[in-house]
Homo-oligomer: A and B are copies of this chain.
Amino acid sequence: MSDERLDVPELQRRLREFAAARDWGRYHTPKNLVAALSVEASELLEIFQWLTPEQAAAVMDDPARAHRVEDEVADVLAYLLQFCSVLGVDPLEALAAKIERNELRFPAGRTPPLDGS
């Protein structure tokens, strides 16, 4: 691992270089990237689909499964960042703004449980 700075803009730069060097930019339309993002999110879900909640909580104890989880997390983040690059969306700003909206929408102490019970 290099000691380069590791943050979102740097990773977006590396992903752009990677795609450009393989002439993959022509596949990276917004519609294709969002389809790929949803496919990768499902591949992460697939690891958990037959596990009980208890088995799921212990998934990182098994090295092979832990590696698979990290690999799929990387794929989800990669397509999310590439989608954002192509459309000019700042994902960190978008999330910060959403958290601020949610603070108003779901006031602490007066918000019902998520399961509707």
Contacts and interface: CB of A to CB of B under 8 A. Distances in A.
Interface of A: 1, 6-8, 11, 14-15, 18, 21-24, 27, 29-32, 34-39, 41-53, 55-57, 59-60, 65, 69-71, 73-78, 80-81, 83-84, 87-89, 91-100, 102-103, 106, 108-109, 111, 113-117
A87 B65 CA distance: 12
Could you tell me the dominant secondary structure of chain A's interface residues? helix
B46 A32 contact: no
A60 B42 CA distance: 24
Contacts of A14: 96, 99
A62 B108 CA distance: 27
Contact of A80 (B70, B80, B84): B80
